[in-house]
Structure 1
Amino acid sequence: MLIKRKASILTSEITDRAVFESRRRFIKAAAAGSAALMLPTLAEAENDIYADVLTGPYSAPLSPTDYEDVTSYTNYYEFSTNKKDSSRLAQALKTRPWSVTVEGEVARPGIYDLEDILKDNPLEERIYRFRCVEAWSMVVPWIGFPLGQMLKRFEPTSNAKFVEFTTIYNPDVMVGQRSGVLEWPYTEGLRIDEAMHPLTIMATGMYDDELPKQNGAPLRLIVPWKYGFKSIKAVVKIRLLENMPDTAWNKSAPREYGFYANVNPEVSHPRWSQKRERVLGSSIFAAKRNTEKFNGYGEQVASLYSGMDLKKYY
C-alpha cells in the first residue's frame, strides 16, 4: 500500500541526486552558450516553472526510477511499436505553440492555448507511482495539475458523464500513425468522477524539467491507479460526453483492454498474469514483486467502483 503524505520538499530532495546535479550543470553550461547552440529553451530553464515545484499531497515515499530508463523505454505507438525508438523519432514533433480544443457537454467550449491553461492551473502535483500493462513498473516524479481543476473552468453540464481525450494526428512526423496497428488518432476516456478525482493529473513535466517529447510532451494524462495505456500523450482535444466513448485499445482488442483498466492482480490479461510485475531498469532475471490493486491507491479510489464487478468491468 502506498503511503499518502503531505510534504513541502523541493525537487532536488526527491530526484536522484546524481541526476539532479548533472542536469543542473548541463542546463547552466547550455545556457551560457545558447546563442551559438541555438537552444533558447535551455537558457530559460534556470527560472522556468518546473524548477522548485513542491510535492503534492498524494506523493509516495519511493525512490524515483532512473531518468534515463524512463526516457529511453516508452510505449508511444504513434512513433513506433519499438519501445526504444520513440526517444529518437519523437524529437521531430513540434510542441510549441500548442492548443487544446474543448468540446461537448460544457458551457465554455473553445480552443485554449496551453500557455493560458498553465497560467490558470498552477503546477503543484507530483505523482510517483505509475505501472503499465507489460508487467513492468516505474516510479516517476510527474509534475502537473489536477485534471478536475481544469475541467471545472470549462463548466461541465449535468449531462457530462464521461471525458474523452484525443492525441495529435500528424503522420508526417508521427510515423507510427502511417501503420494500421491502431485506429488513429489515439483516443482514451475516463468516467467523469475518475476525471475529477484529485489523483488524476495533466502532466507537463517530470523530474525537474518539462516533459521529454517521447514521454508525451507537452501535455499528457496521468491516472496512477490504472494501467499505462490509459495515460494518453500529446493531448489536443478534450470532449465531455453523456455516453461512454470508444477508446483506441478497447476498439483494437476489447478482450484484452477494457475501458476501466484499473490495476488489478485478480484479473489476468488473456495472454499473461498480472499478479506480478518487474521494475523498469532491473534485470530480466531479477525477482518480480506483487502487483498492488489500484496500484496501491485503493484507499483513495476504491470507493469510485463500489458495487461494481471489477472482473467484468476490467
Structure 2
Amino acid sequence: MSVYGFPGSESGGDATKNNGHLLKLVLRAGAELGNVPIVILGDFNITPEKSLTLCAAFSTGCWLDAALQMSALTGSRPQPTCFASPQGTRIDAVLCSAVAAVGLRDLHLVDDTGLPTHVPIQVCLDMPSYSQEVRKQRTSAPFPATETKWTAKRENETFQRAYSGMAERWTHAYRSSDIEGLWALWCDLAENYLAARCDLSATSCPGKYRGRGRVAEPRPQRVSACQRPDQTGAVLHHHRVLLKLTRRVEEHQRHIAHLQGLGAPGVTPQETSHLWQNIVRTGPRVAVHLELSPF
C-alpha cells in the first residue's frame, strides 16, 4: 500500500490532526486484509516517532517501522530520508505488519538517484518465507441454491433421466453385491440429479461439483505460511460481519423477551421476519464452510 501524508504535519494544527486520521484509515484498511503480509510505503510527512497514531500502532506489536527494525539488528541509527532542511528528517518510511516483518531481510537508502529532496528507500523481503507447500484435499463445490419450484412429475422425470444413463451398471453392481460400486453410482446419480435440479446441466454434472463419495489423493499446493493469531491485530472482514450479525441476533432475542413480557401479541413472527431479512442481506458476506453441506 502507498500513502502520502498531509504536508506540514510536524508543525501541529489541522495538518497533524488530518494526517493522524488518514493514517488510522490506512492502518484499518490494512488490518481488514487479514493475517497476510502487508507493507505500507510512503511519504508520511511526519517522522514515525512523532506520530501518535503510528506510535499507538507500534505499541500493539501488530505494526513495525522497518527502518527501526533493521537498525536494532545492525546496531545503527535510522538515516534521514528527506532533506528539506540541512539536518534532514525521516518522514519517508516503510511500515510492515507483524507477518510481513518475518520476511524483512534488508533496508537501505539509494543514493545518487538525482531525485530532489527525498532519498528513495529500498527494502528486501524474503518472499518464500510467506508461503509453504502443503498437500491439500480437494473438496467438491457446493451446489447453488435454487428457488425454482418443481412439480413431483418433473422431479421424477429428471431422476429417471439421470438414472437411465447408469441403469445397466447399477443392475450389474447390485447383482454382484458390489457395495463400493453401488456407492459410487449412487453419488454420480445424486450429483447428476442435483445438477439438473439446480439448472446447471440437464445431462451431466459439471466437473467442479463432482467428487463426492470418492477418496482423492491430496495435491501439493502453495498456501500462506501459518502465523500465530497474536502476531497481527487483523480481523477478517467476514469475521466482523459475522460478529455484527451475532450481536443483532442477541439483541433480537432480548427484544422479543421484553415484548412478550409486556404481553404484546404476535410479536415473535414479525421480529423473526425482520431478522431473517437482515440475514438474507448479510449472509452472502459471511464465509460458508463447504463441509456443512455434503451435497
TM-score (norm 1): 0.19
TM-score (norm 2): 0.20
More helix by share: 2
More strand by share: 1
